[in-house]
Structure 1
Amino acid sequence: MMRLYALRITDCGFTPMADETAGTTCLLINIGHVLTRVAYCSPVEGVARLVALAEASTTASGPDGLLEGVRRAVTNLEALLGRRLLDEEGRLRRPCDADGHGVGGAVVTTSLAWPLRVALAGVARDYSLASAFRAVSVPHVTLVRMVALDASTRRWETDDLQALVESPPAVLVLVGGVDGGPVAPICDLAQALGAAYSALPENTRPTVVYAGNVQAHRPLSAALSGVVDLHLVSNVRPSLGVEYLGDLRAEVMRLFYRRALGWPEALQAVEQWAGTSVRYDLDAMARTLRFTARRHSLKRGVLGVDVGGSGCRLLWVQPAGAPLSWATPYGTGAGLGALRELNDPTAVLR
């Protein structure tokens, strides 16, 4: 287990300062819905070891927002360690001094956001839609629906379109066609969805990302601009033999951190205080599980379970390929309310 902590330090973006070695101390911080947890890791015989853990209630209000809960957790950690990690003004002491006070670096993750609900709609199931699926198969995304053009009738199924409107995802990804090919099918879909979404309250309409034939950019903008937030990115299948996933994946990640986290100013304050970027905790968990799968040659992968106060999440990671995630609203704190609503006592039995 301690070697897994060493992996997370390296993979989550911790870079020692110029005058420090790779074996320096590190502060690990995770901000959850209910609790903020901190861990202190220090090198022992060349391997990063977990020395102490502490926690405090996550704070959402107050002048310092989330940072107040982080500082309280670190203060609790200082009492266990007998070392000073904060200065008189509550700032993180970097780097370590000769007496062992301070830390060499910090890693900050958060589980404040649920995975982003994404739906896919595309013309060719085996080409552009398959590429879009690979692009959005990341830990912070839950795929809620895939809609493909009917191959025999070349029409969109009414039930599929109705589902996209009655239960709209947070993000709808549209794909279809190689660059320079026909645009009629995807434009027909955009016009139908534009008319339907215009009748919905603005705060329930999805963000639409188009990653298909670039020839469709202008008609799609005409059909959807002013109705939904439309983002145009590079085609995932510019030609039949070429697949390009980078722009679509980056855009979905950007939307996740912008829309799903919902704590931009509070998290920016934590980033500035810690001197590092805040990462989604499932990203770190996926890297740890992949390391485990590769280290022990587990071809079928590793299943990770995160039981939290407001919900539970599962993450399945294989030695290669995209990780798959699934979330539920059932937890050990605020998530107990969702269990009560089931009205089924057996739901909590082992």
Structure 2
Amino acid sequence: MTSSIVATDSVLTLDIGSTKTRAALFDVVGGFYRFIAAGTATTTVGPPYNDAREGVVQAIHQLQETTGRTLIASDGSLLTPATPDGSGVDAVAATLSAGPPIRVVAVGLLDDVSLQSAVRLAQSTYSTIVEKVSMNDGRQQARRIDAILHARPEWIIFAGGLDGGATHSIHTLAEAVGLASYLLPRNDRPVVLYAGNSEIRQEIKETLAPVVDVYTAPNIRPLLQEERLLAAGPAVRKVFKAVRAAQMFGLTEIDAWSEGRLLPAATAFGRMIHFLGRLYDPNKAVLGIDVGSASVTVAAASGGHLIQRVFSDLGMGESVEALLNAIPPERITRWLPDTFDEERVLNFVANKAAFPASVPASAEELLLEQAVGREVVAAAVRQTLKEHTVETGRARPDILPWTEPILLSGALFSRSPSVAQALLVALDGLQPAGVTTVVLDQNELLPSLGVAAEVNPLLAVQVLESHAFLNLGTVIAPVGSARQGTPVLRLNVQFEDGRTTQAEIKFGTLARIPLPSGKSAQVHVQPLHRFDVGLGGPGRGGRLQVAGGALGIVIDARGRPLQLPKDATQRSRLLERWRTALTR
């Protein structure tokens, strides 16, 4: 590779999560960028260290031991750029998801227009909405000020006003924001992001600047029917860093190591999904889900459009108890053998929240974790689709849109004992429809690649195409209604070596046809009884070129949405059949 194409060879990424901190090394191998190795340590933003740098340094030391490459100098500083003897790295970039949700007050003119956009912008990163203020909220100005004071926000997102529209109401809301902020102790005052009518941006900034730190962004709702959340991305990044730097010791130094390339991990994750959305079929959505300990990020993209939703009250660790605020415990127990009762689920959830870094120590605990994981995934995707419109087709409004591919990230999937279990959790939680490829981010690299793309976009592209990501297989999930055991799909698979396989798939079954990685096959799909696989409408089939994967071709004819038997014994037997279906 020449320097005209590549400005930096080696890149070190630092990913500071709520429980774990990872340092990942990327470099050129055989003329292509590759993921080399990663080091992991416990995140140290809280006691006893209270310094994010300690966990980062521990992770880098582990990476040094793995690779034999010196990355930290004797004085404790990072070695940049790389030296001729192979020590150091050319660039550093960092992502952050650790820390409590940022307390946000959303301010807008109208509830279902600019206020809605302000809320969505907050929900694109690690935040919790503690108050909403609008001109049609029915409150007098004094009560709006009291509401902001009572909420004690760390961040106020202020939207409203079409570009070129009236400005009097915006000034009224700015007065409420300014007075409420002034009445708070100086060290407790929020950061304000103004993303409203662009024509008075400077006026609003000058009004509020004597009281609070003010950041501005392009109007996120410039027209009544047009929302532009991505335009506010750079400003959101600045606010995020400012708030987190005030909360976490050592973060300013880490940002300096990365030369300002510190991103919210969700932003970096969304960037990769957005990028892939430009490459794949615009009639399908690229879907990514990142399940962390304290939060879940869902991102969907098609063409140039990105939907991103961060759930700071969902996760597999410290946030897991919040799941029970959204669903009853029996939603979890339905995924378990009939020997598990609700009390056992509640005890597991409480223990997981208290010890978020714990891992399953038995087969029973693994079943519990995966049952919880299914419902965490389902809750996040269900709420995302309720709040946002995915501009692609689907068989029915109550199921997932057509997708290609689906990317799975997070320890729930990457640390599963087998790829079959990882895929089954995803199938049960997401319930994809039609034909899609499912890819496992087995090294949990997507956020790191998203931030590394700022340094070198080619690196992100080439690592995505490498073996750092695992193709689990092609999933074919016909949508329709039929009696159990009714044939709903016929497949004719022609392998590269000339062999052929025919299969008739019955409703209610989960099956697989082996097709190893590196191989491919032509698959003729013919739905029966007007079942829909996304190839042009109910009953329409077609021929597909399918790439091999860890599990080959997986046919999920269990129906959408999944219906589990009410009888506990029958349900247990069915779940056991499903658990073994992908390992045959």
Using structure 1 for the length normalisation, give the TM-score: 0.67
* Offset, 1:258: 1.0
Instruction: Provide closer, same or farther for how the CA distance between residues 286 and 115 of structure 1 changes in structure 2, counting only shifts above 3 A.
Output: farther
Other-structure match for 2:462? none
> 2:27 is aligned with what amino acid?
S
- 1:318 deviates by 0.9
Unaligned stretches of 5+ residues in structure 2: 330-341, 350-367, 372-584
Aligned to 2:64: 78
2:106 is matched with which residue?
A: 119
Query: Residue 104 of structure 1 is aligned with which of 55, 67, 90?
Result: 90
Counterpart among 266, 269, 294 of residue 250 in structure 2: 266
Matched residue, 2:272: 288
Report the RMSD for the aligned CA atoms in angstroms. 4.9
Percent of residue pairs identical: 22
Aligned residue type for 1:288: M
Q: 1:240 to 1:95 in 2, by over 3 A?
A: closer
**CA shift for structure 1 position 37:** 0.8
Gap change, CA 1:265 and 1:231, over 3 Å in 2: same
Aligned to 1:91: 77
- Once residues 15 and 218 of structure 2 are traced to their aligned partners in structure 1, the CA distance between those partners, rounded to angstroms, is 36
Change (3 A) 1:54 1:234: closer
CA distance in 1, matches of 2:133, 2:79: 52
Give a deviation string over 1:215-259, Cα, whole Å, max 9, x none.
9958x94xx898x63748588399979999899665444322212
2:298 alignment partner in structure 1: 315
Residues 131, 243 of structure 1: 8 Å contact kept: no
- Counterpart selection for 1:214 from 200, 203, 210: 200
Paired residue type of 1:94: T
Structure with the greater alpha carbon radius of gyration: 2
Residue 270 of structure 1, CA deviation: 2.1
Deviation at 1:101, TM superposition (A): 2.9
Mapped partners of 2:119, 2:181: distance in 1: 27
Q: 1:138 to 1:79 in 2, by over 3 A?
A: same
The alignment partner of 1:295 has SS state of: coil
The answer to whether the 8 Å contact 1:28/1:106 transfers is yes
From 136, 151, 157, the counterpart of 2:138: 157
Partners in 1 of 2:209 and 2:9 — Cα distance?
51
Q: CA deviation at 1:146?
A: 6.4
Counterpart amino acid of residue 259 in structure 1: V
Q: Is the 8 A contact 2:280 2:286 kept in 1?
A: no
Q: Which amino acid aligns with 1:58?
A: T
Indicate how the Cα distance of structure 1 residues 248 and 49 shifts in structure 2: closer, same or farther if over 3 A, else same.
closer
Change in 2 beyond 3 A, CA 1:253/1:120: farther
Shift, 1:267, TM fit: 1.8
Determine the C-alpha separation between the residues in 2 that align with 1:330 and 1:63: 26
8 Å Cα contact 2:299/2:308 also seen in 1: yes
TM-score normalised over the length of structure 2: 0.44
- Quick check: 2:109–2:135 contact (8 Å CA) kept in 1? yes
SS across alignment from 1:303:
strand
SS of the counterpart of 1:283?
Answer: helix
Name stretches of at least 5 consecutive residues in structure 1 with no aligned partner: 1-15, 151-155
**Contact (CA 8 Å) 1:52, 1:80: kept in 2 or not?**
yes
Structure 1 residues 136 and 51: alpha-carbon distance in aligned structure 2, compared to 1, 3 A threshold: same
Query: Would the alpha carbon gap of residues 43 and 118 (structure 1) be closer, same or farther in structure 2, given more than 3 Å must change?
Result: farther
SS in structure 1 at match of 2:278: helix
Shift of 1:289: 1.6
Q: Where do 1:324-343 residues align within 5 Å?
A: 324-335=308-319
| Corresponding residue to 2:33 among 43, 48, 65 | 48
Amino acid of the residue matched to residue 102 of structure 1?
G
The total of aligned residue pairs comes to 322
**AA paired with 2:288?**
L
Partner of 1:25: 10
User: For 2:33 and 2:306, how far apart are their aligned partners in 1?
Assistant: 28
Q: Does the aligned pair in 2 maintain the 1:139–1:286 contact within 8 Å?
A: no
